[in-house]
Amino acid sequence: MGFNKRMSVKNPKPLRNPLVQRFFFALVFFLLFFSILVFPWVAWGADNAGIVREFLGQVPLSDKERSDILQAVRTASSRTEWLLSGEGQVYSLALRPVLRDKRPDVQVKLEEMARHQAGLRARYLLYLRAAPEKRRSRYADEDSVAEALVGWDKGAGKEKRLKPDLSAAMVRGGWAFALVRVRGEVLEELGARIASLPGNDLDTAYCSALYPKAKAFFDQKEYQRALPVYRELHALRWARPVAYLDAAECFLRTGDKRGAACLAEETAVELGESMNSALLERAGDLLLESGEEDKAARLYRLASEKLRQER
């Protein structure tokens, strides 16, 4: 009926439905916005071989090595890291974007930070390649596994530490590049050392690398994202009371008072001897807020006793 009233001899067609018009304009806006976000990545994926070629041209490699690396880049041009082997060598190439700042001194620092991140990632890839699958698959976070292995290897002594025979980094076109080359036999030796590493030692190193991720979520009040990370720490029996009190608070802030009380009490019982007065008091606070007044009072007494001992 409304359409018919809008028809006339001068305008024989009905006007478009306003809802249809709004939908059309919203669709156009979304497509434009999506293209702005995606186009840089599509453009990078199509053009990265040229930028990588420029980088490799400044690295002391043979023509065959450059050709093989470029071929790997072209084969998976949308990626930002590659790991390949040939002629008894293993190559790790990683890229990281460089943030932009108009201040020259800040820009220098941003480029240095991106170069460091690319170099670290290139080394991480080698350690993950060396680590036996059985050891890696025990853990959920790959980056933390790599960080744990790098940290462990640094403490192994200079004579045992992984020694690449080539390492290069550069910033070009808004990206930081890093290439690391190591002999295959050296990587195999590293894998053998990782395989013989006691499980508890690797668990501890992994948890130390993983905890900052959980803490970052916790500090940002993203409790639902923090909890799975804390659960993995708990499953690995990491002896850090503060991590479990963080997790208990996550339970509390997401409405699970029972879970918060159970974990706070368990932490105090199992790790109480290693907890200072502040941590015991925090555990008591969590129990009190969870409705466990008697258990909270007991922890407050323990906190007071520990405080007298600390003075």
Q: What is the pLDDT of residues 84-100, one digit of tens each?
A: 999 999 999 999 999 99
- Pairing, β 166-172 against β 175-183: antiparallel
- At residue 193, the pLDDT reads 93
The residue with greater pLDDT, 31 or 220, is 220
**Of 163, 168, 165, 166, nearest to 52 (Cα)?**
168
- At residue 130, the pLDDT reads 96
Give the tokens for residue 160.
């045992």
Q: What is the pLDDT of residues 202-248, one digit of tens each?
A: 999 999 999 999 999 999 999 999 999 999 999 999 999 999 999 99
Helices 104-130, 184-195: crossing angle, 10 deg rounding: 70
The residue with greater pLDDT, 23 or 243, is 243
Domains within the chain, CATH numbers bracketed: 38-197 (no CATH), 198-311 (1.25.40.10)
∠ CA 217-223-225, rounded to 5°: 65
Q: What is the pLDDT of residues 258-297, one digit of tens each?
A: 999 999 999 999 999 999 999 999 999 999 999 999 999 9
Say if pTM beats, i.e. exceeds, 0.85: no
